[in-house]
Structure 1
Amino acid sequence: MRRFDRGDFDLVAVGRAMIAEPDWPKLVQAGALDQLKPFATSLMADPLMAHVK
């Protein structure tokens, strides 16, 4: 996150992160990085249901 905060990146891809955690933007903006769920390839089987427990 330090490199991101410094502005080292022009573009950040969050495709996999959004599949694993649909609330990714809100959690990152709130600084709740400990609440982010990791991506797993098993989520690709049904990406629309990945957030359902």
Structure 2
Amino acid sequence: MTLKQREILTHKYVHGLKNKEIADLFRDSPSKLHQRSLQKLKNYLQKEQDSHDDS
């Protein structure tokens, strides 16, 4: 996950900003930014889960 994606998720879930507000900060499409960030997080968590299952 990139720093930008972490920042997006932090703005969304920690600070409670709306997708439009976040998009304005990053000058990008709100849904694309959010969706890409969530997909990266999902992939990361899946890899973590898989590594724990193999242990």
Which of the pair is proportionally richer in helix?
2
Give the TM-score taking structure 2 as reference length: 0.23
Give the TM-score taking structure 1 as reference length: 0.23
